[in-house]
Amino acid sequence: MDKIFLNQLSFYGYHGVYPEETKLGQHFIVDLVLELDLRHAARHDDLQASIDYGDVHERVKTIVEGKPYKLVEAVAERISAELLQAYDQLQTCTVKVIKPNPPIAGHYDSVAVELTRSRHA
Q: Given 3, 61, 67, 99, which residue is catalytic?
A: 99
Higher pLDDT, 109 or 55: 55
Instruction: Give the mean model confidence (pLDDT) for residues 48-72.
Output: 97
Mean pLDDT for the chain overall = 95
Higher pLDDT, 72 or 105: 72
Catalytic residue check, 61:
no
The amino acid present at 93, given as its one-letter code, is: C
In the chain the domains, ranked by start, together with CATH numbers, are: 2-118 (3.30.1130.10)
Q: Are 9 and 33 in contact (CB under 8 A)?
A: no
Q: Which pLDDT score is estimated for 37?
A: 97
**Alpha carbon 78 to its chain's center:** 8
Instruction: Give the mean model confidence (pLDDT) for residues 4-18.
Output: 96
Q: Which pLDDT score is estimated for 41?
A: 96
Report in angstroms the alpha-carbon separations of 32 from 4, 57, 107.
8, 10, 26
Q: Which pLDDT score is estimated for 121?
A: 57
Specify which residues 96 forms β-bridges with. 31, 114
Res. 118: pLDDT tops 90: yes
| Three-state SS letters, 35-99 | EECCHHHHHHCCHHHCCCHHHHHHHHHHHHCCCCCCCHHHHHHHHHHHHHHHCCCCCEEEEEEEE
